[in-house]
Amino acid sequence: MLQNTGKLAGYTIFITGASRGIGKAIALKAARDGANVVIAAKTADPHPKLPGTIYTAAAEIEAAGGKALPCIVDQINDAVEQAVEKFGGIDILVNNASAINLTGTLETPMKKIDLMLGINLRGTYLTSKLCIPHLLKSKNPHILNLSPPLNLNPIWFKNHTAYTMAKYGMSMCVLGMAEEFKGSIAVNALWPKTAIQTAAMDMLGGSGIDKQCRKVEIVADAAYAIFKQPTSFTGQFVIDEDILRKEGIRDFDVYAVEPGHPLLPDFFLDQQPEDLARQMKEHGATPAFKSGKTSTDSASTGPVSDMFNIIRGVLSPDIVKTTQGVYRFDLSGDHAGVWYIDLKNDAGSAGSGEPPVKADVIMTLDSSDFIKMFEGKLKPTMAFMSGKLKIKGDMGLAIKLEKMMAMMKSKL
């Protein structure tokens, strides 16, 4: 891991979304140098599902050797004024706060779109605008946005246009402000090469996702490496692993949640479009979409029917009691058709056609990938995050289905 040098001692760092996850990790890294850290986040009271508040983060920062100022971000202007009043200025701004909702255009409520655009784009722009007058007075000012390179390959838009627009808005702030304040403020973006284990990732990915992730410390170390750069280092879209290799880091297993386990690549990073098909196949996505057959006899024979025979064999009242969900599968490809698994009623049931009651979750995917998922050869998390599997409905119930898939392995 990248060693602390003490270079941030006395610096004031304003971090949005610093009560947990990547934001808190960056805060703690700076605190070990003796930095002043402004924790600008919305969680003042404990969240029922997410760990940490601005006050628990402040206590950790103080314990690590820094000085902390917890601020609720409802009024960002007040938070900036409090920071300047307490610490005398602002040297570094980290725009880390972000909202995510990975749904398509018809499935995304305007409330969610407003939230993503409000936090990711407007929040980043506004916080930068308010901090810049103070940053201009610093000896080595930096703005760092936790946002991806501007990859315009349509694959990164098609399944979650609203999220991509909001996230790319943060990156466009880098592009514009780096040029606008060239020579005065370093403005850069930082993005992880792999998925990072955070509370948000656990909620999105479900059980087992952590093994495919790196720890938040890799992003904190990369941010620290950027803060050491002069203001001439600007307009860069930095990938965490790349800058750490330049810093001399060679052992990346120390950052892995489970060293040696295959890692899940992060969004937006198919740098060579001609390599996209290969990358997608490797990580569970679909490089070409088949129109699919619509023959009606595929329901009675074939590999999907065989798989459902196995599924019926593992159904039990216990699974129904712990799951309480009805699933519908809209399959395309060589064995297209509609199938269901009812894990809500009686002892459970499964078969072809519409479910006997309204489905809580609808999963859309290629029939060959459905088989691979239930055989344990394709991780649902990878399929979902890369766009191969589309899920409509209760995401929590979708994650519960993975437990049934795990049980299937022993039957195959």
**Residues 126, 138: Cα–Cα separation, whole Å:** 19
Q: Which residue has the tokens 């980043």?
A: 124
Query: Between helices 76-87 and 124-135, what is the axis angle to 10°?
Result: 30
| Phi, psi dihedral angles at 113 (to 5 degrees) | -65, -45
Confirm whether 55 is a catalytic residue.
Answer: no
Q: Which residue has the tokens 């892995």?
A: 256
CA distances from 386 to 170, 260, 279, 360, 366 (A): 21, 22, 10, 22, 14
Mark out the alpha helices in 183-300 (DSSP H runs): 199-205, 217-227, 240-246, 276-282
From the number of C-beta atoms within 10 Å of its C-beta (0-12, 13-18, 19+), residue 50 rates as middle
Query: Between helices 217-227 and 21-31, what is the axis angle to 10°?
Result: 50
- Which residues have CB under 8 Å from 51's CB, separation 6+? 20, 199
- How many helices (H) and strands (E) would you count in the chain? 15, 12
3-state DSSP assignment of residue 395: helix
**Residues 259, 33: Cα–Cα separation, whole Å:** 28
Handedness of CA 16, 17, 22, 23 (dihedral sign): positive
Locate 91 and state its tokens: 């040297």
Which of 163, 224, 255, 327 does the annotation list as catalytic? Answer: 163
Give the residue numbers annotated as catalytic, written as ranges: 163
